[in-house]
Structure 1
Amino acid sequence: MRSRLRSNAGQAFPIYIVMVAGLLFLAFAFFAVGKASATRNGAQGAADAAALAAAQEARDEIGPAFLGSLLLPGGLNDFFGNHYISGAPCAQAQRLAASNNADVVGGCGWQSHFQRDEVTIRVETRNTVGDTVLPGTESRHATATATAVIEFRCSWKAPETPSEDSEPPSGDDEAEDGKPESPGPFTFRCDGRDRFEIDPLHPAPWEELGEALFAVHLTDD
């Protein structure tokens, strides 16, 4: 009887070893998945920060062109149809990605629409997932993509121009240096609530105007 019990115990012991080994492998596999997920989340955070940085830099950069367009008849429509984004926003995106231990790959993808610009940034982490029980993770980098938009959120009313039947301006309507007076102020209403005016020749600082006129945010599109 005792020999039979010893025999059963001896047969069960290898099964216990296999079960423990299997559980340990699953634990290490879950740990590897957790490390991969953390690396992926770090990549997404870097991509979000880089895309927002590029959009904010672009908003700062377009200030002179936007204000200059107010001096021309129909200038705002031309600005929204043709304004130009330089390479500075992409450089800013790389700086933000680097501060999050990642790099921008493939450059910055710009798409321009009327009153809306989008920049898509793809990043790759500098660190890898690391050594795990899963093969290949020691050289696996995480990648992520984010898109930010610069969106004009206002309507505007241009200064009234004199009609052809109106009397020509007198000498009193000219500035002291002999040049015509500047165009009257543009009236902007943003988000259907805020209303303010911009004098093309005496505008407020662009840092203040840019935030009021253009929204910058991430998008899930």
Structure 2
Amino acid sequence: MTVRSRSDRGQAFPIYVVMVAGLLFLVFAFFAVGKASALRNGSQGAADSAALAAAQAARADFESGFIASLPENMLDAFLAAPFTAPCGEAQSFASDNDADVTSCTARYGPRRDSIKVEVEGREAVDSSVIPGTKRTFAKAKATAIIEFRCTWQALDFDNNNVQDLFIFSCGDAGMVEIVPSSPPPWSQVSKILFDVHLVDN
């Protein structure tokens, strides 16, 4: 039978201490990585909801300009016109998800506009084992599209060059008829005329 001396046990003790310290470091490092990933996911959710909220608010604000463009048959011009991105709405939704909007911009196209939102989370990674994380915050961005998805025709029943009826065919979303003199409630038709969705940045 082999008997270990006290000196052998004394030499092994520092090795055990190093191993335990290394394992603890790995545990804290994995915890920090997991927290960073969770914060990143949270910030992405905040960016997504902020961009969608801004795009939906923009769609809701289109009513007066859209209806006003019908009698003059200036709908193409209206769809190409710039609008002000509702960044306040974006911040409200980002704040609900513990984040702040750092950038909110709109881009314009003839039938398709977009709002891009960038956010930063309010909670720092703050890991004791990874330097610099006390002031490291998760960032994310998202882009929402506002897309006019219909074709239309205008009808002049009296042949007086005044459009009496506009018929919009919007694919799977359905069909909408608008009489410029008495348009339907915008809340009933806006979601048919305009699609709002997220796209890859």
CA contact (8 A) 1:154 1:192 kept: no
Of residues 99, 124, 134, the one that matches 2:130 is: 134
Deviations 1:150-169 (A, max 9, x none): 01111111214777xxxxx6
Tell me, yes or no, if structure 1 residue 196 matches structure 2 residue 196: no
Instruction: Give the match for residue 157 of structure 1.
Output: 153
Tell me, yes or no, if structure 1 residue 104 matches structure 2 residue 84: no
Which amino acid in the other structure matches residue 95 of structure 1?
S
Offset of residue 64 of structure 1: 0.8
Distance 1:125 1:4, change over 3 A: closer
Deviations 1:123-143 (A, max 9, x none): 111221124321111111111
Which amino acid in the other structure matches residue 123 of structure 2?
N
Deviations 1:8-40 (A, max 9, x none): 333322222211111110000000111111111
CA RMSD of aligned residues (A): 2.2
Determine the C-alpha separation between the residues in 2 that align with 1:102 and 1:3.
62
Of residues 61, 84, 87, the one that matches 1:86 is: 84
CA contact (8 A) 1:40 1:142 kept: yes
Deviations 1:59-87 (A, max 9, x none): 011111011111113x11111122x3125
CA contact (8 A) 2:156 2:165 kept: no
Offset of residue 52 of structure 1: 0.6
Offset of residue 122 of structure 1: 0.6
Instruction: Give the match for residue 208 of structure 1.
Output: 188
TM-score by length of 2: 0.90
Offset of residue 46 of structure 1: 0.9
Structure 1 residue runs of 4 or more that deviate by more than 6 Å after TM superposition: none
Determine the C-alpha separation between the residues in 2 that align with 1:54 and 1:193.
22
Identical aligned residues as a percent: 50
Instruction: Give the match for residue 13 of structure 1.
Output: 13
Determine the C-alpha separation between the residues in 2 that align with 1:96 and 1:193.
27
Which structure 2 segments of 5+ residues have no match? Answer: none
Determine the C-alpha separation between the residues in 1 that align with 2:55 and 2:45.
16
- Computing the radius of gyration from Cα coordinates, the structure with the larger value is 1
Determine the C-alpha separation between the residues in 1 that align with 2:171 and 2:38.
38
Determine the C-alpha separation between the residues in 1 that align with 2:172 and 2:41.
37
TM-score by length of 1: 0.83
Which structure 1 segments of 5+ residues have no match? Answer: 164-168, 170-179
Determine the C-alpha separation between the residues in 2 that align with 1:192 and 1:209.
14
Determine the C-alpha separation between the residues in 2 that align with 1:52 and 1:193.
19
Determine the C-alpha separation between the residues in 2 that align with 1:34 and 1:104.
24
Instruction: Give the match for residue 32 of structure 1.
Output: 32
